[in-house]
């Protein structure tokens, strides 16, 4: 796999010729809706399959999979356009395999209202699907916002393990601080909370639970970890999996970044996996900054790994972009966008995409054209370079794998970078 950065004057055809690939493959591997609208500084993924198959008359997907001794899921992973239709055509080239360098576990977060087509296209890449649908409310009760029957069944049909997400944060980003506080200090609420989770696991098809720890601090860590211990004892004794998602509490001050120095050693034997996510809310808070940072993640994991086994930790890859109005103030408007929308915006405003080597994330600046309210803006997002570096960081530290926040909008570069280098581990039969 090669990552190429678009230069001024490049076209989709000239780039394809330069790297000896077809325009079709270049467009498919990057999910380019408008391949003639490239942006200077835009990152493109170029993949080189190890083995391909040229479709012949009478071929079927199941027959091709059987011929090469691979699963149908692998065909879907390597040829994502197949998820959009139920046929193959003679003359089409299908990717059978890549010359991968390792294996990894992949988890993705989604709300039950995810588009079924987006979900179907994404599930072949996932080991686990964390379904965020249960909110902690008063007295240890849980509120389910949506019927999750269909998404559980769809996950299972693609050999992705469905995990029940339990959080105190609503989809719109509001956190019920009072409900969390009362849960942490009241034993009877905790028993009811755990009973509610167990009852749902027994009747739903979920294989386990992902408990979101939203406001962990030095002052409440003992209470949180005691609740987690109780939850672990019950959940795991029943044969279910337990994950926890934690906001490490990054603090930003001028050019300095810090995180809460929590002792996580008590967690190591309680859970099957820990995911550290920078933002558990719907949107970023605070001044303009990179969506993620490889250097900060590296520092965080160096701190964590002596207390938590690296094979239990998942690296976060946030598929998000944010647009800040400048100059920044506490009431500054911050707009969340899909990653493809960020690149489209750069094209529309004629911006050049720049790249921050420290965080390994792209950004650009522009000025809006509203006649009566012109404002400067800065947009931070991630691209193939960010994803590639994060995956290599996780592999280098022997971590469990990657966790994607979130998969609500399909982003092809994520999966092209992944499958061209790593085999996805599936614990359920494919």
- State the residue range of the domain holding 148: 107-310+399-424
Q: Name the residue among 28, 7, 245 with its Cα closest to residue 131.
A: 245
CATH (domain of 174): 3.20.20.80
90 and 114 housed in the same domain = no
For 62, the enclosing helix (H) or strand (E) is helix 61-67
The answer to whether 71 and 124 have CB atoms below 8 angstroms apart is: no
Distance CA 334, CA 337 (A): 10
Residue 409 has which token pair? 């909008």
| Parallel/antiparallel/unpaired status of strands 273-276 and 334-337 | unpaired
The answer to whether 180 and 217 have CB atoms below 8 angstroms apart is: no
The answer to whether 141 and 194 have CB atoms below 8 angstroms apart is: no
352-356: list long-range contacts, CB under 8 Å, 24+ apart. Answer: 352/39, 352/40, 352/41, 353/39, 353/40, 353/41, 353/42, 354/41, 355/5, 355/41, 355/385, 356/290
Please tell me whether the overall predicted TM-score, pTM, comes out greater than 0.75 for this model: yes
Q: How far is CA 282 from CA 51, 150, 401, in A?
A: 41, 24, 23
124 and 264 housed in the same domain = yes
123 and 211 housed in the same domain = yes
254 and 143 housed in the same domain = yes
Distance CA 30, CA 95 (A): 15
Query: Please, what is the end-to-end C-alpha distance for the chain in angstroms?
Result: 26
Tell me the angle at which helices 221-237 and 187-204 cross, rounded to the nearest 10 degrees: 40
269 and 406 housed in the same domain = yes
Neighbours of 365 (CB within 10 A): 16
Q: What is the pLDDT along the chain (430 residues), one digit of tens a residue?
A: 999 999 999 999 999 999 999 999 999 999 999 999 999 999 999 999 999 999 999 999 999 999 999 999 999 999 999 998 889 999 999 999 999 999 999 999 999 999 999 999 999 999 999 999 999 999 999 999 899 999 999 999 999 999 999 998 876 667 788 898 999 999 999 999 999 999 999 999 999 999 998 778 888 899 999 999 999 999 999 999 999 999 887 665 555 666 778 889 989 899 999 999 876 554 567 889 999 999 999 999 999 999 999 999 999 999 999 999 999 988 887 899 999 999 999 999 999 999 999 999 999 999 988 777 889 999 999 999 999 999 999 999 999 999 999 999 999 999 999 999 999 999 999 9
The helix/strand/coil state of 137 is: coil
CATH (domain of 74): 3.10.350.10
- Specify if 361 maps to a domain: no
Written as one string, the DSSP assignment of 132-167 is EEEEE-GGG-EEE-S--HHHHHHHHHTTPEEEEEEE
Q: Name the residue among 425, 355, 426 with its Cα closest to residue 384.
A: 355
Spatial neighbors of 29 by CB under 8 A, at least 6 apart, are: 45, 46, 47, 412, 413, 416
- Specify if 33 maps to a domain: yes
127 and 239 housed in the same domain = yes
- Specify if 52 maps to a domain: yes
Q: Name the residue among 298, 229, 288, 238 with its Cα closest to residue 264.
A: 229
What pLDDT, on the 0 to 100 scale, is given for residue 172? Answer: 67
The answer to whether 376 and 365 have CB atoms below 8 angstroms apart is: yes
């Amino acid at each position: 796999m090669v990552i190429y950065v678009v230069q001024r004057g490049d076209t989709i055809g000239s780039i394809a010729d330069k790297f000896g690939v077809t325009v079709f493959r270049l467009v498919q591997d990057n999910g380019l809706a408008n391949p003639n609208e490239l942006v200077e500084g835009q990152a493109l993924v170029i993949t080189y399959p190890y083995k391909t198959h040229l479709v012949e008359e009478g071929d079927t997907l199941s027959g091709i999979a059987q011929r090469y001794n691979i699963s149908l899921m692998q065909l879907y992973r390597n040829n994502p356009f197949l998820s959009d239709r139920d046929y193959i055509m003679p003359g089409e080239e299908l990717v059978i395999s890549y010359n991968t360098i390792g294996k990894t576990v992949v988890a993705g977060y989604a709300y039950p209202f995810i588009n079924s087509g987006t979900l179907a296209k994404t599930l072949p890449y996932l080991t686990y699907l964390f379904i965020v649908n249960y909110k902690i409310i008063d007295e240890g009760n849980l509120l389910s916002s949506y019927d999750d029957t269909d998404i559980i069944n769809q996950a299972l049909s693609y050999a992705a393990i469905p995990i029940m997400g339990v959080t105190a944060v609503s989809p719109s980003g509001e956190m019920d601080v009072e409900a969390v506080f009362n849960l942490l200090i009241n034993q009877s609420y905790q028993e009811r909370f755990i009973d509610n989770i167990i009852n749902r696991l027994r009747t739903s098809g979920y294989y386990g639970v992902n408990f979101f720890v939203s406001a962990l601090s030095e002052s409440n860590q003992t209470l949180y970890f005691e609740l987690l211990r109780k939850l672990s004892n019950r959940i795991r004794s029943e044969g279910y999996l337990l994950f926890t998602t934690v906001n490490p509490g990054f603090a930003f001050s001028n050019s300095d970044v810090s995180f809460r120095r929590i002792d996580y050693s008590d967690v190591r034997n309680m859970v099957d996996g820990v995911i550290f996510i920078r933002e558990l809310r719907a949107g970023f808070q605070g001044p303009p900054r990179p969506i993620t940072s490889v250097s900060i993640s590296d520092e965080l994991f160096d701190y964590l790994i002596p207390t938590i086994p690296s094979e239990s930790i998942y690296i976060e890859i946030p598929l998000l972009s944010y647009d800040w109005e400048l100059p920044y103030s506490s009431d500054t408007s911050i707009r969340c966008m899909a990653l493809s929308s960020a690149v489209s915006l750069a094209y529309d405003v004629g911006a050049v995409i720049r790249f921050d080597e420290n965080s390994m994330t792209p950004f650009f600046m522009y000025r809006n054209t509203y006649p009566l309210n012109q404002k400067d803006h800065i947009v931070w997002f991630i691209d193939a370079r960010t994803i590639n570096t994060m995956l290599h960081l996780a592999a280098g530290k022997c971590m469990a794998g990657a966790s994607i926040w979130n998969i609500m909008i399909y982003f092809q570069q994520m999966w092209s970078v992944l499958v061209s280098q790593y085999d996805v581990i599936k614990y359920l039969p494919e």
